Amino acid sequence: MKQTTETPPNVLISGGTGLVGKHLTKLLQERGYTVCYLSRQKTAQSGVLSYYWNPERGELDEKAIRKADYVVHLAGANVGEKRWTEARKQEILESRTLSTELLADALESVPHQVKAFIGASAIGIYGDTLDNAASEDSPHGNDFLANVCKEWEKQVSLIIDAGIRTVVFRIGVVLARESGALPKMSLPVRWGVGAPIASGKQWISWIHIYDLCRMFLFGIENPSLQGIFNAVANATTNRQFITQIARELKKPLWIPSIPLFFLKWALGEMHCLVTTSCKVSNQKIKSAGFSFEFEDLERALRDLL
Ligand SMILES: NC(=O)c1ccc[n+]([C@@H]2O[C@H](COP(=O)([O-])OP(=O)(O)OC[C@H]3O[C@@H](n4cnc5c(N)ncnc54)[C@H](OP(=O)(O)O)[C@@H]3O)[C@@H](O)[C@H]2O)c1
């Protein structure tokens, strides 16, 4: 961080209480930033000043916007947490669109000094890529998650229209120790019942949580960075991924694979989270000057498992 003022820059994070937000908070605080949250929870988070908002009701504490130097928008109902009923799908969509619209309105109407808006989206926007690595210009998919991402990014254009430097990261599968995809994938392997999913040939484009947080920091600290960037370190097939977890945990893989029909029955429409092939290129963010600490799966898993 360049020390240009006496007061440290203030980063306002929506959804800062989540997996990415907590890690990003730690990194920003270590680098000397002040962090505040926009949260639906009224209780204070340890060590972080929290401002209340409720995107569903269109409520937002304007003080959060007045104080912010940067806005990082992570809020959204977790796509892997609950079965996708129609009501849950509506919540997944609206928690992203209404929250982005609310932020855009606030950035339009409240006096502020925000220098950049860094938003999350997801590589789910590409739908099933089969074996072709999707770049930021690749066509979008037409399934539920792709449509959510398209609507989400459409709302972000309101912030670009407000003249604020805007960066959107299309995030891949985030690998972290405590929650998200990795514990879910590694637990059956630890119990000795791990197996590839369906054909095992579907691609998983992943990123280590530390690199993702460094990428958000890169977005904050590079005044020339704007636009959409894929946030993935590498792509590995599901079979290679599970095999690498087993190797790391020194566990055997004896079940051939989990059949697709079972996943459809157990997870419903949500099965696409584990069966869709998503191979994504990170060339654009690398060309912008970002370098990864964990580009190799073995190294990433050794750090996290
Ligand atoms: N983790 C991944 O693998 C991954 C992959 C691709 C994209 N992303 C995207 O990156 C962002 C951050 O991911 P994450 O893993 O940190 O998510 P997370 O752990 O699920 O946390 C998201 C935060 O969003 C807020 N939130 C939850 N439901 C909401 C709702 N209905 N309305 C408004 N806010 C709501 C919550 O904060 P409060 O309770 O404080 O309001 C929550 O802590 C998300 O938008 C996610 O879609 C994540």
Least Cα distance to 89 among 288, 277, 281, 268 occurs for 268
Cβ of 113: how many Cβ atoms within 10 Å?
Answer: 12
Q: How far is the CA of 254 from the centre of ligand 1 (A)?
A: 35
Q: Which protein residue has the closest C-alpha to ligand 1 atom 43?
A: 18
pLDDT per residue as tens digits for the range 191-224 = 988 999 999 999 999 999 999 999 999 999 999 9
CA angle 13/16/17 to nearest 5° reads: 160
User: Measured between alpha carbons, how far is 214 from 286 in angstroms, rounded to an integer?
Assistant: 13
pTM attached to this predicted model? 0.96
pLDDT of 259 strictly over 80: yes
pLDDT of 300 strictly over 60: yes
214-238 b/e (C-beta count within 10 Å ≥ 16 → b): bbbbbbbeeeebbebbbbbbbbbbb
Q: How far is the CA of 3 from the centre of ligand 1 (A)?
A: 31
Give the pLDDT band (50/70/90) at residue 266.
Answer: confident
User: Measured between alpha carbons, how far is 215 from 212 in angstroms, rounded to an integer?
Assistant: 5
Overall fold of domain 10-172+207-232: Rossmann fold (3.40.50)
* Ligand 1 atom at shortest distance from the alpha carbon of 91: 31
What sign does the dihedral 206-74-170-266 (CA atoms) show?
positive
> Which residue has better confidence, 217 or 255?
217
| Average pLDDT of the residues in 51-77 | 97
Of the CA atoms within 13 Å of residue 297, those in its CB half-sphere come to: 20
pLDDT of 2 strictly over 70: no
Secondary structure class of 265 (helix, strand, coil): helix
CA angle 198/137/169 to nearest 5° reads: 75
| Phi, psi dihedrals of residue 10, rounded to the nearest 5° | -105, 125
pLDDT, position 263 = 83
Q: Spell out which residues line ligand 1, taking CB within 6 angstroms.
A: 15, 17-21, 39-41, 55, 74-78, 91, 95, 99, 120, 122, 171, 173-174, 180-181
Report whether 285 contacts 292 (CB < 8 A).
no
Give the pairing type, strands 34-39 and 49-54. Answer: parallel
Domain boundaries, the chain: 10-172+207-232
Least Cα distance to 143 among 281, 271, 282, 232 occurs for 271
* Ligand 1 atom at shortest distance from the alpha carbon of 174: 3
Q: Which protein residue has the closest C-alpha to ligand 1 atom 1?
A: 174
Place of tokens 């209404």: 98
pLDDT, position 43 = 76
pLDDT per residue as tens digits for the range 144-177 = 999 999 999 999 999 999 899 999 999 999 999 9
Report whether 264 contacts 84 (CB < 8 A).
no
Q: How far is the CA of 291 from the centre of ligand 1 (A)?
A: 25
For the chain, where are the E strands, in sequence order?
10-14, 34-39, 49-54, 59-60, 70-73, 116-122, 165-171, 173-175, 203-208, 227-231, 234-237
pLDDT of 73 strictly over 60: yes
Q: How far is the CA of 252 from the centre of ligand 1 (A)?
A: 34
Q: How far is the CA of 120 from the centre of ligand 1 (A)?
A: 9
Secondary structure class of 123 (helix, strand, coil): helix
* Ligand 1 atom at shortest distance from the alpha carbon of 95: 32
Q: How far is the CA of 21 from the centre of ligand 1 (A)?
A: 8
Q: How far is the CA of 15 from the centre of ligand 1 (A)?
A: 6
| Average pLDDT of the residues in 251-260 | 87
Place of tokens 């369906």: 198
pLDDT of 105 strictly over 90: yes
